[in-house]
Every structure is written in C-alpha cells, then in structure tokens.
C-alpha cells in the first residue's frame, strides 16, 4: 500500500503552434518540471508508477456528448490554420494534432488512479496530466481544458464502484465551472472550489462562481464556491478556508472518496493566480484532507504555470501523500480581511444546507479584528512578479533540501518492558533509556512519583523525546505507568524547554493540570476536559468535553431517523434528545437499538478540533506538540486518532503522544498507525453539537480571538446584519 503516480510521457506532445500570449503558459515543460522535481527528491522512486492508457470513447461519454468527442477526434487530421480557426470557437483553448491522444490519456490516467485507490492497490495518488480538465463542459473545451478528467473520474467511481458520496476539492485558482455544471443538481458529488474572483472581474467572469451559487434542485448545498476577491491570499487564508469551511462540510458529508482538482496556479509566483501560498501550504492542505474518506485521495493535476513553484508544490503534495511529515508553515498566521469576508459569504450562503455551519461557533467579526498593517508575507512585495517569486523560492528550495527526514519514523516507549502490544510494522520499540543518573535527576525535580517501573518508563521516554528533539525520530508514543502521566508531562515540558524549544504546544486531555511556574509564551497549554470553559491567560485555556457517558438509541421511522443521546447505561428510562438526521442510516431494525455513545457529539468534537484546537495550534507555530491523554480523558480511539493525525501538522510532524498504561492496547496501535501516516478510523455518524458545546466554544473563541487570529471566521448568527461595513 502506498501512493500511485500516474503518467505518460506522450502527454508532453501537445503544445501551442501559434502566437497566443494567453495560452502559451500551458506548455509541456509543466509536466517535465513536476516530474524532475519528484525524481530529484527521490519521491518518484517511492511511488507506484503507473503508465497511463487512453480512456475509451464510452468513458468520455459519461460526461461529453458524442458530437463533441467526434469534433475533438477530427482535430487529429487538421492543419495548423484549421486548428487555429477551431480553437477560436472556444474561450482560452488551443488544439494540436496530438490533443485528442493527450486528452484521452489525461482522462485515462485519472480513471486508473481511481481504480488503483478503490481496489485498494494504493492508499492515494496523483495523476500528472495535460491537458487539464476542470473548465471543460459537456460540449465545450474551455480554459486549456478538453475533457473533464476529474468529472469523468467521479462518474466512473459512482458507476463502477457504486460510490454514493464523492468530494471534489478544487484548489486550482480558477473556478472549475465545468465540474460545477456537470454536478449542479447531483447531491452525491460535493464540489468545493476556491478561486480568484475579484467581484467577477477575473476570468471566466461568471456570476455562478460567486458564493451564492450552491447547486440546483436536489444538489442544493453540494456546490460550494469560495471566491477570493483580492490577489495575495496566503497560507493563513487557505488554512482558514479549510478549517472553517471545507472541513466542517466535508466531515458532515462523510465522503467515500476525495478527488482533488490539484491546480497549483494558487501557489506563490504563479502569473495567473498572483496568490502567495507557499509550496508547504499544499502539504498541510493535503494532510488535512487525509483524515477524510479513510485517506482515499486521488489528485489530478489542473493548472500551475510557474514551473519552479509548480514543481515544489507537487513535491509537497506527493511527499505528504506518502506519509512524510509536513514542513512548518511560514508567515504570520493571520487571515486578511478580504479572505474573512469571503469565508463569511460562503458560510452564510451554505448555512441553510449544513448543520455544521448553522452552529458556527465563531464570534462575529468586529472592528477590533481588522487586519494590522504589514500583512503576512515575508517573501513577496504587494504585486508578486516572476522575478520576485523566483527570488523568494530559491532560498526556500535550499531549506527544503536541508531538512532531512528523521531516520526513524515512529517510536513507542512502553512502561512495562515487553508488554505485548500489536503495534503496526514500521514502529520502533524504544528499548534504549536515558542514563540512570539523568533520569533520576529529572525524577527528583518533579515529586517522588517516579519509582521502579515508572522510573524505567521515564528513562525510555526521555530517550525517545531526545530522539525527537534531535531529529533522529519523527514522532512517538510514550506510555506512562498508571498515575504518572501528569508528572511525566511536567518532565517532558521542562526537558523540551531546556533543549531550547521556543514554543511547545500541550494538548492535555482529561484531568491534567497545567504545571505551576510555567512562563507564558513558551508553552501553550490547551486542556480539553469535562469542566467549564476558561481562559486563564492567552496561553492557558480549558475547554469542556462533556462526559455524556451512556448510549445512543436509534429509531428509524419512515421519514426521519431519530437519534437520542445520553441514555445512561444504568437508567435507560431517561432519554435526552440530542439531534436528528434526515439521511437514512444503515439501521434496519424498527426496534430501538442501543449503540455505544461517544463521550460527546461528533459535531461538538469536530467544532472543537477544527474551530478551536487547530487555529490555536497553527497560530502558535510550535516546535513540538505534546498530546497527553490523562485520566478520564473520555476520547474514543477514533477521536484520539483524528486529533493526533491533524496535530502532526503544526510542528512539522514533531509530536509526542503520552498515554497511560491502562488505556493503551488498541489506542496505542491506532495512534501508531496515524503517526505513521495512515488515515484515522471513521468517527461514526455526524451528530450535531449540543447547545452546551456550542455555548462553551463560542465563549472561548470570543475571548481568544484578539490574540489568535486564525479563530476568526465569522458567520453571522441567523437574522443579524453583516458586521463588516
């Protein structure tokens, strides 16, 4: 299992044969640059390389009309003048005698990738193709696109594999109007696109690219447009869009497959996009998507016209698909005002269709949140040019090469030597310990809780932590002896700080108190536990995780499914209404059925992670992340796995998970899997957050927003007027 790379060199055989400044950027070197980049970094060699085959005309017919296919077929025998005349009938298109062959290979590559992923041959993959596809329509070529590669791939996944929910993430900087038209009334395909829009003044100049276009008929709410109304959007803006729009909807949609219209004209240096997101941003966007659909991601190249930026961004994506850690994100993590306005407009347009947006916990944007002067880009001036981008990219490239991947992927330190654990292959058992004297010195500094077994465990944990801090080990799991978690966490924090870590993020779950005498700034302590929301300081935050231990009872009626939460196991008579879903769920009995209940709603959990934890974590830009599961943490394994998976992002993959011995077994195995780069298990059906959860999160965000700007993403409560004048 791994990552597929689908390609055929014939796809470099189409090119512009006449003068046309608009089309000349779509050149064969785009593919060779991306491929050379992958080869130079040794990434191609780690992929399962598949040679693309042409799609059949029947496959093209899933989206395109026979007349249009025949028209493109006839271009094979046209001369230059005829090709040029035909090209003029479309907007921003050129034909070449090889166009038909290349365009069929491009579709074929996308289909092979879907087959490889859905048959389980690989986890995920990328198809490097030309011509791109997302602008092309049933009977029209458009914007360099001839056949709609990704749309045909989605139809194929539905027809051949019976998939019912497919998410398309189009991060190309142009609106993929072709995909939007094809699935406009289809609720089985959720299409998300962000694009340079400038209030309609940017190509393709369409009203239907704006946020108010949400799909038609049954498909309402399944088209999600996020228009960027200014150029210069950067890492924080893209991240905010994922955390506050795409991911909440995607979790609620619960896709079985994610297709990515992976255009890299949204990256820095691109002459079309004029945006500022750096290549590493695409590693983070990819990693965030990996928690969806069991990690089944098929990415298909669309645009991307700055060769160096394209190559680096493609490498970042493939590296992440392969499970490598994400490099730290550069730049001030503050979304700009225009981005926040765009995010708000799509939240408002989509709120009627998505529970997770109706419950948006972000506070309303006030004048105090206006963006400070001198925004987030250290790399480029106001209007990025090729030259400025080149200058900005070359040092970056050096940095990318200088950051070696640690030789050891994931290590696990166990409290009891030889405890039988079914750890996944590829995990190193931490046998080596820190020196006895050193371990005892640390233990003495922190109470007398470490004796015998717990002292042995501490020695191994210190050694593992040393490996992470020195770059020998990527990440790890520390299993503490019973009741030693709090003391171990204290030692770990002190050890990190004494090693020179500038910023340490501690996500402490359950009953763990922030160690006394910690200076603010260096350590961000985020406690997720079952008590009141509290902001002790901007670096000491508690958020509740309601402990609704008990059961869910599910009744399926003819029109709706009722889900009751919080039936305590010992008192099945007292029901508390939690929420209801209209979608039929796979429950076939008409009898009430008891299911094990998560300690809180999935909606509440996700709001907490996407709306609070990740914005804080990315805003803090830690060197190391500590995720500690203390007593009574109340997280299900799948929730802990999701949290560990996404917390790999903010600190370049340097994460240490601390768990207590008793809670181990399956949990350690699940955590080890996600730390190795596998997708976390499903959270189960989406249940809307409870009013208490929403209230608590709202309160916290209102207090924290002045310091942590990634929290901003205001959706006005229904009925209120826009706060942005």
Q: How far is the CB of 313 from ligand Q9C (least distance, A)?
A: 14
DSSP per-residue codes, 54-80: PPPHHHHTTTS-HHHHHHHHHGGG--H
> Alpha-carbon distance 270 to 267, whole Å?
6
Q: Which of ligand Q9C, Zn ion, none does 92 bind, CB closer than 5 to 8 A by kind?
A: ligand Q9C
**Window 285 to 304, contacts with Zn ion (CB under 5 A):** 303
Q: How far is the CB of 695 from ligand Q9C (least distance, A)?
A: 44
Nearest residue by C-beta to ligand Q9C?
303
Total length of the chain? 725
DSSP per-residue codes, 116-136: HHHTTS-SEEEE--SS--TT-
When binding is defined by CB under 5 A, the residue of 170, 254, 265, 308 that contacts Zn ion is 265
Q: Which of ligand Q9C, Zn ion, none does 154 bind, CB closer than 5 to 8 A by kind?
A: none
Q: Which residues pair with 476 in a beta bridge?
A: 411, 656
How many other C-beta atoms can be found within 10 angstroms of the C-beta atom of residue 402? 7
Q: What are phi and psi of 359, to 5 degrees?
A: -95, 15
Residue 479 is classified by DSSP as E
Decide if 214 contacts 221 (C-beta within 8 A).
Answer: yes
Q: Which of ligand Q9C, Zn ion, none does 22 bind, CB closer than 5 to 8 A by kind?
A: ligand Q9C
> Alpha-carbon distance 674 to 657, whole Å?
11
Q: Between residues 252 and 265, which has the closer beta carbon with respect to Zn ion?
A: 265
Residue 570 is classified by DSSP as T
Q: How far is the CB of 316 from ligand Q9C (least distance, A)?
A: 19
Q: Output the CA torsion 680→681→687→689 (10° steps).
A: -30
CA–CA distances in Å: residue 82 to residues 68, 87, 147: 17, 9, 20
Q: Which of ligand Q9C, Zn ion, none does 144 bind, CB closer than 5 to 8 A by kind?
A: ligand Q9C
Decide if 148 contacts 68 (C-beta within 8 A).
Answer: no
Nearest residue by C-beta to Zn ion?
303
Q: Is the dihedral of CA 463, 465, 471, 475 positive or negative?
A: positive
64 is catalytic: no
Q: How far is the CB of 274 from Zn ion (least distance, A)?
A: 12
How many other C-beta atoms can be found within 10 angstroms of the C-beta atom of residue 435? 11
**Range list of H helices, 143-184:** 149-161, 177-182
Peptide bond before residue 131 is cis, with ω within 30 degrees of 0: yes
**Window 137 to 196, contacts with ligand Q9C (CB under 6 A):** 143-145, 172, 174
Q: What are phi and psi of 426, to 5 degrees?
A: 100, -10
Pick the closest to residue 189 from 160, 138, 150 (CA basis): 150
Q: How far is the CB of 272 from ligand Q9C (least distance, A)?
A: 6
Kindly write out the interface string for residues 142-181 of this chain, putting x where it contacts Zn ion by CB under 5 A and - elsewhere: ------------------------------x-x-------
Decide if 644 contacts 475 (C-beta within 8 A).
Answer: no
Q: Which of Zn ion, ligand Q9C, none does 222 bind, CB closer than 5 to 8 A by kind?
A: none
302 binding ligand Q9C? (CB under 6 A): yes
Q: Between residues 174 and 709, which has the closer beta carbon with respect to ligand Q9C?
A: 174
Instruction: Give the three-class secondary structure for 455.
Output: helix
What does R_g of the chain's alpha carbons equal in angstroms? 26
Q: Between residues 171 and 354, which has the closer beta carbon with respect to ligand Q9C?
A: 171
Q: Between residues 93 and 608, which has the closer beta carbon with respect to ligand Q9C?
A: 93
> Alpha-carbon distance 11 to 33, whole Å?
13
Q: What's the 3-state SS for 366-394?
A: CHHHCCCCCCCCCCCCCCCCHHHHHHHHH
Decide if 122 contacts 2 (C-beta within 8 A).
Answer: yes
Q: What tokens does 99 get?
A: 């166009």
660 binding Zn ion? (CB under 5 A): no
* Pairing mode, strands 593-596 and 624-629: unpaired
Q: How far is the CB of 265 from ligand Q9C (least distance, A)?
A: 5
Q: How far is the CB of 213 from Zn ion (least distance, A)?
A: 18
Listed ranges 17-25, 53-61, 263-271, 578-586: which one lies at the site for Zn ion (CB under 5 A): 263-271
**Window 669 to 688, contacts with ligand Q9C (CB under 6 A):** none
Q: How far is the CB of 301 from Zn ion (least distance, A)?
A: 10
327 binding ligand Q9C? (CB under 6 A): no
When binding is defined by CB under 6 A, the residue of 33, 60, 92, 141 that contacts ligand Q9C is 92
Decide if 167 contacts 192 (C-beta within 8 A).
Answer: yes
Q: Which strand (E) or helix (H) includes residue 429? A: strand 427-429
Q: What's the 3-state SS for 489-512?
A: HHHHHHHHHHCCCCCEEEEEECCC
Q: How far is the CB of 204 from ligand Q9C (least distance, A)?
A: 8
When binding is defined by CB under 6 A, the residue of 178, 219, 263, 716 that contacts ligand Q9C is 263
Q: Between residues 37 and 303, which has the closer beta carbon with respect to Zn ion?
A: 303
Q: Between residues 303 and 615, which has the closer beta carbon with respect to ligand Q9C?
A: 303
Q: Between residues 253 and 264, which has the closer beta carbon with respect to Zn ion?
A: 264
Listed ranges 29-37, 144-152, 178-186, 265-273: which one lies at the site for Zn ion (CB under 5 A): 265-273
Kindly write out the interface string for residues 47-86 of this chain, putting x where it contacts ligand Q9C by CB under 6 A and - elsewhere: ----------------------------------------
When binding is defined by CB under 6 A, the residue of 269, 303, 325, 384 that contacts ligand Q9C is 303
Q: How far is the CB of 275 from Zn ion (least distance, A)?
A: 11
Q: Which residues pair with 626 in a beta bridge?
A: 506, 656
**Window 193 to 222, contacts with ligand Q9C (CB under 6 A):** 203
When binding is defined by CB under 5 A, the residue of 263, 323, 331, 677 that contacts Zn ion is 263
Q: Between residues 178 and 303, which has the closer beta carbon with respect to Zn ion?
A: 303
38 binding ligand Q9C? (CB under 6 A): no
Q: What tokens does 571 get?
A: 């008192």
- From 135, 156, 175, 446, active-site residue: 135
Q: Which strand (E) or helix (H) includes residue 543? A: strand 540-544
When binding is defined by CB under 6 A, the residue of 37, 108, 125, 132 that contacts ligand Q9C is 132
Q: How far is the CB of 207 from Zn ion (least distance, A)?
A: 19
269 binding ligand Q9C? (CB under 6 A): no
Q: Between residues 91 and 692, which has the closer beta carbon with respect to Zn ion?
A: 91
273 binding ligand Q9C? (CB under 6 A): no
Q: How far is the CB of 304 from ligand Q9C (least distance, A)?
A: 7
Instruction: Give the three-class secondary structure for 464.
Output: helix
Q: What tokens does 596 get?
A: 């094990």
Kindly write out the interface string for residues 4-23 of this chain, putting x where it contacts ligand Q9C by CB under 6 A and - elsewhere: ------------------x-
Q: Between residues 298 and 491, which has the closer beta carbon with respect to ligand Q9C?
A: 298
Q: Between residues 172 and 623, which has the closer beta carbon with respect to Zn ion?
A: 172
* Pairing mode, strands 561-567 and 551-556: antiparallel
Which residue is listed with tokens 């990819």?
286
Site residue total, ligand Q9C (CB under 6 A)? 15
Pick the closest to residue 660 from 410, 495, 415, 412 (CA basis): 415
Q: Between residues 92 and 473, which has the closer beta carbon with respect to ligand Q9C?
A: 92
When binding is defined by CB under 6 A, the residue of 170, 186, 237, 265 that contacts ligand Q9C is 265
Site residue total, Zn ion (CB under 5 A)? 5
> Alpha-carbon distance 542 to 700, whole Å?
9
Angle at 509 between CA 670 and CA 335, to 5 degrees: 95
Contacts with Zn ion, residue ranges (CB under 5 A): 172, 174, 263, 265, 303
Contacts with ligand Q9C, residue ranges (CB under 6 A): 22, 92, 132, 135, 143-145, 172, 174, 203, 263, 265, 272, 302-303
Catalytic residues: 135
């Amino acid at each position: 299992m791994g990552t597929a790379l689908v390609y055929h060199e014939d796809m470099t055989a189409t090119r512009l044969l006449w003068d046309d400044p608009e089309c000349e950027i779509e050149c064969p070197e785009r593919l060779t640059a991306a491929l050379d980049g992958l080869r130079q970094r040794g990434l191609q060699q780690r992929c399962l390389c598949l040679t693309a085959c042409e799609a059949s005309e029947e496959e093209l017919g899933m989206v395109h009309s026979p007349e249009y296919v025949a028209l493109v077929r006839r271009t094979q025998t046209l001369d230059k003048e005829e090709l040029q005349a035909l090209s003029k009938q479309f907007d921003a298109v050129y034909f070449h005698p090889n166009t038909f062959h290349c365009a069929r290979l491009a579709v074929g590559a996308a289909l092979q990738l879907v087959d490889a992923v859905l048959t389980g041959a690989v986890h995920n993959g990328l198809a490097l193709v030309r011509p791109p596809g997302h602008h092309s329509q049933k009977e029209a070529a458009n914007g360099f696109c001839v056949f709609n590669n990704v749309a045909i791939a989605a139809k194929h996944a539905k027809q051949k594999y019976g998939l019912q929910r497919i998410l398309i993430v189009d991060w190309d900087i142009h609106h993929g109007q072709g995909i939007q038209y094809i699935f406009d009334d289809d609720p089985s395909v959720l299409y998300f696109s962000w694009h340079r829009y400038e209030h309609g003044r940017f190509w393709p100049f369409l009203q239907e690219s704006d946020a108010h276009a949400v799909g038609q008929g049954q498909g309402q709410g399944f088209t999600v447009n996020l228009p960027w109304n200014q150029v210069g959007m950067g890492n924080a803006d893209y991240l905010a869009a994922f955390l506050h729009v795409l991911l909440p909807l995607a979790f609620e949609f619960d896709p079985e497959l994610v297709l990515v219209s992976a255009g890299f004209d949204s990256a820095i240096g691109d002459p079309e996009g004029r945006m500022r997101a750096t290549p590493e941003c695409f590693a983070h966007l990819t990693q965030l998507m990996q928690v969806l659909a069991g990690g089944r991601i098929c990415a298909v190249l669309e645009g991307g016209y700055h060769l160096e930026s394209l190559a680096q961004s493609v490498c970042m994506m493939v590296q992440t698909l392969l499970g490598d850690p994400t490099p730290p994100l550069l730049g001030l993590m503050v979304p700009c005002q225009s981005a926040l306005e765009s995010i708000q407009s799509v939240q408002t347009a989509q709120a009627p269709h998505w529970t997770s947006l109706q419950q948006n916990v972000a506070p309303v944007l006030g004048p105090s949140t206006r963006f400070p002067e001198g925004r987030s880009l250290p790399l480029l001036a106001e209007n990025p040019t090729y030259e400025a981008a080149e200058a900005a990219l070359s040092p970056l490239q050096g940095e990318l090469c200088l950051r070696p991947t640690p030789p050891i992927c994931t290590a696990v330190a166990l409290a009891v030597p030889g405890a039988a654990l079914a750890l996944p292959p590829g995990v190193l058992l931490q046998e080596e310990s820190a020196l006895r004297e050193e371990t005892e010195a640390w233990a003495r500094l922190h109470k007398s809780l470490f004796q015998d077994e717990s002292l042995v465990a501490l020695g191994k944990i210190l050694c593992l932590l040393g490996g992470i801090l020195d770059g020998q080990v990527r990440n790890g799991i520390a299993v503490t002896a019973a009741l030693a978690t709090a003391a171990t966490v204290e030692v770990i924090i002190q050890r990190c700080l004494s090693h020179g870590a500038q910023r340490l993020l501690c996500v402490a779950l359950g009953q763990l108190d922030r160690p006394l005498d910690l200076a603010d700034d260096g350590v961000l302590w985020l406690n997720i536990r079952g008590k009141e929301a509290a902001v002790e300081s901007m670096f000491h935050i508690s958020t509740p995780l309601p402990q609704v231990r008990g059961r869910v009872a599910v009744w399926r009626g003819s029109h709706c499914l009722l889900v009751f939460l919080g039936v305590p196991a010992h008192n099945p008579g007292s029901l508390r209404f939690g929420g209801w879903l209209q979608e039929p769920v796979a429950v076939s009995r008409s009898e009430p059925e008891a299911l094990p209940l998560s300690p809180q709603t999935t909606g509440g959990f996700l709001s907490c992670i996407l709306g609070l934890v990740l914005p804080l974590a990315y805003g803090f830009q830690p060197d190391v992340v500590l995720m500690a599961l203390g007593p009574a943490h109340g997280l299900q394994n799948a929730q802990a796995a999701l949290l560990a998976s996404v917390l790999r992002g903010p600190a370049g993959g340097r994460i240490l998970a601390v768990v207590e011995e008793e809670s181990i077994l399956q949990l350690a195995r699940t955590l080890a899997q996600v730390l190795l780069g596998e997708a976390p298990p499903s959270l189960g059906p989406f249940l809307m957050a409870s009013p208490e959860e929403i209230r608590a999160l709202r309160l916290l965000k209102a207090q924290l927003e002045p310091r942590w700007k990634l929290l901003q993403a205001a959706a006005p409560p229904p009925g209120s007027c826009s706060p942005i004048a």
